[in-house]
Chains A and B, each alone.
Chain A
Amino acid sequence: MRNLVYFLIISALIVLVGQFQSWNLALSILNLCIISAIMALGVNIQWGYAGLFNVGIMGFAALGGLAAMLISMPPVREAWSAGGLGIAGGIVALILTVLCAVFSYRKMRGTRFRTLIVVLVSVVGYFVLRSFFDPASDAIEKVNPASSGYLGGLGLPILLAWPVGGVLAGAAAWVVGKITLGLRADYLAIATLGISEIIVAMLKNEDWMTRGVKNVVGLPRPVPYEINLQQSDWFIQLAARLQTDPVTFSSIFVKICYAGLFGVVLLLVLYLSEKALRSPWGRMMRAIRDNEVSSEAMGKDVKARHLQVFVLGSMVVGIAGAMLTTLDGQLTPSSYQPLRFTFLIWVMVIVGGSGNNWGAILGGFVIWFFWIESEPMGIWLMNTLTSQMDSGSALRAHLIDSAQHMRLMTMGLILLLTLRFSPRGLIPEKNAHH
């Protein structure tokens, strides 16, 4: 009952934004709320179900974004002919190197030179790989650098990128999890922090793949374009019937379409998460979380279960990341900021209620709403507070200028206060064993 009230309040807030600011803004907040909620669900699977602390959410979301670009953009033919072969060779070399390294690692178990051999194999493989990649990427980046200079994508419908983004993120999670799960929680946290920095560095620097900081813009949409809508008869009639201006209505209509698509994904992920939570698997996960030692003693393979849940959660984050890039319509590697992606999602999960899927969704909505609205609120607050000061005062200018940094502090405070005074969040986990 109380939970319903929470959701009603946040819906009302969004409606209020629609009424008093604009419906366009309200809908874009809603869309990002939904995406945030899905990411929070993914993190909740890891943290709430299994107690895993993932600090690399940004990286997994970025992989989703990469997938969106790679799937949807049309291929650049000239670039493919200039360097496609080299890139393909490089990828083959990469796979072979990894296979050789893993093979020698397995075969040399117990021998003295194992580490040396594995490192040697990797280094040689690395040079072979570079000998393919370097000339190829140079050639690719020389093809129309102003407009392309990259391989492009597969030219497939962008909706396909959502599951693919999940798979990419899941694969990265598998590698990290394989190495660091079973060790201290700190190690997983630091390793995920590292992998996410590296993934984003790759997106920023591998121009042949992502155009780097030049961004890839104009990703094909899964929903109609405003300009097409404005020229369709049925749409103009619909707008007339609703007595609105077709131009404004077209952008609202597009956002509603997105909201519909995102809503479907959200419901699907929620349904599956809830079902999994209630299944024997979910009960086992929570049993492991609450008492790792005794579960291990009972013959449960804790590490394998953790790896499973870590990959699943990261996949959900990857899907959400692909959705976000779809919504933006462009891949902008420099927009991946750890504070915005990783730590904000954590605030959502903790505030919403760790272990509870509904809580994660509520947290996603609430925190995103305040993240967006806190900027105007902060500036207004600063303006009011400093209104007594001389309008030319440098301090006043500095304070107003710094208002945007207030929200970092606010989010940190919200996190700390929730953790301390209401550690189970807005919607606590049901029958928790704490």
Chain B
Amino acid sequence: MELLNALALLSNYVLVPALAYGSQLALGALGVTLVFGILRFSNFAHGDTMAFGTMVTILFTWWFQSMGIHLGPLPTALLAMPFGILFCAAYVLATDRLVYRFYRSKRSDPVIYLIASVGVMFVTNGIVRFIIGPDDQNFADGERFIIKAGEFKKLTGLSEGVSIKLSQGITVITMFIVVALLFWFLNKTRSGKSMRAYSDNEDLALLSGINPDRVVAITWILAAALATIAGTLYGLDKSFKPFTYFQLLLPIFAAAIVGGLGNPLGAIAGGFVIAFSEIMITYAYKRVIAYLVPGDWVPDGLIQLLSTDYKFAVSFVILLLVLLVRPNGIFKGTGV
């Protein structure tokens, strides 16, 4: 019983949140890794692209809400998300047309793309703040929980409850659907295979008649879709604030690098590695231990490895460790 309680406690505060957060990071890292695989640079604007797509989704959500359109128990944002993806894709394609295409035609050094992406990040950040403002926005509606802690306790008779927020459930399910679709696309469709071929050997792809502009455009559209979905899910789960999305860059990059830049499977694994490490290291284990050891053995402190203020340090340290030990990532990427 005590053991079950400890497990319930861990599920509630570690497992469930980490699964949701990991899914969000995985989706974000997939976008970064796809852009890296095809265009060969780390896109610093990705966090702000997420913010842009989410912002459009929020605006449509508000519009739908004002017209009385709802999805019942599900958040209206799911209905608005396709519009977010549409606008975000258009925006990202416009940045490619206006910014990156020029450097592609000149075959510029990757670091030039990095700087250009910083410029795009600035502009995107400005646009998002200009339109929706720098503050927190809450746009979740519908049911709050799939399982409430109280219901769980009643159901199982345990003294610790496990609650699963609807947003967390939606996040994980959406992640599975999106990843399945993405892998189907990359492995089974003509366009997907041409993307992989281009990422593998650009010159040979050209010799095979693969149109580079098309591959690049598809990549940007996918990246925009992944960014919008990841951003919306994160916003539903927590809240939307432009600066937070900029800060998500670090864990997302860490996830992509840990998994091996350019490797989609690695990006997903990396997302979960980062999310679980971050939450496990910043969780205070005192109450879990209290269930497992006799009363007078329970330590005074919180038994928290690191304060949550330093959660970014976790991504950072994992990133450095991977760079030290396996610079290509856990799964081999196209990096280095």
User: Residues on A close to B: CB < 8 A?
Assistant: 51, 53, 55, 115, 126, 134, 179-180, 183-187, 189-191, 193-195, 197-198, 201-202, 204-205, 338-339, 343, 346, 350, 401-402, 405-413, 415-416, 419-420
Contact = CB atoms under 8 A, between A and B. Distances in A.
Contacts of B246: 338
Interface in B249-282: 249-250, 253-254, 257, 261
A207 B148 CA distance: 37
Nearest to A403: B130
A186 B42 contact: yes
Interface in B21-44: 36, 41-42, 44
Interface string B308-327: 01101101100110011101
A183 B327 contact: yes
Contacts of B126: 405-410, 412
A184 B309 contact: no
Given A186-B335, A190-B254, 20 more contacts: A179-B320, A179-B323, A184-B335, A185-B110, A187-B257, A190-B253, A197-B247, A198-B312, A339-B125, A346-B115, A401-B133, A402-B133, A405-B126, A405-B130, A407-B126, A408-B125, A411-B122, A415-B118, A415-B119, A420-B102
Nearest to B305: A126
B116 A191 contact: no
Contacts of A412: 119-126
B323 A191 contact: yes
Contacts of B301: 134
A350 B253 CA distance: 25
A190 B310 contact: no
B129 interface: yes
A416 B120 contact: yes
Contacts of B129: 402, 405, 408
A189 B324 contact: no
Given A189-B114, A190-B42, A419 B323 contact: no
Contacts of B133: 401-402
Given A189-B114, A346-B118, A411-B122, A183 B250 contact: no
A161 B307 CA distance: 29
Q: Is the interface of A mostly helix, strand, loop or mixed?
A: helix
A355 to B, nearest CB: 14
B127 A194 contact: no
Contacts of B118: 55, 343, 346, 415
A138 to B, nearest CB: 10
A123 B333 CA distance: 29
B177 interface: no
B112 interface: yes
Contact of A194 (B110, B111, B250): B250
A198 B316 contact: yes
A346 B320 CA distance: 24
A179 B122 contact: no
B115 A197 contact: no
B261 A413 contact: no
A406 B310 contact: no
A62 to B, nearest CB: 14
B283 to A, nearest CB: 15
Contacts of A405: 126, 129-130, 134
Contacts of B249: 193
Given A197-B250, A201-B309, A405-B130, A416 B261 contact: no
Contacts of B319: 190-191, 194
A190 B248 CA distance: 12
Contacts of B119: 412-413, 415-416, 419
B46 to A, nearest CB: 12
Contacts of A201: 309-310, 312-313
Nearest to B326: A115
Contact of B250 (A115, A134, A185, A190): A190
A346 B116 CA distance: 11
Given A51-B111, A201-B313, A183 B130 contact: no
A180 B323 contact: yes
A416 B99 contact: yes
B123 A416 contact: yes
B336 interface: yes
Lowest 3 A-B CB distances belong to which pairs?
Answer: A412-B122, A409-B126, A408-B126
A183 B316 CA distance: 16
A120 B119 CA distance: 42
B302 to A, nearest CB: 10
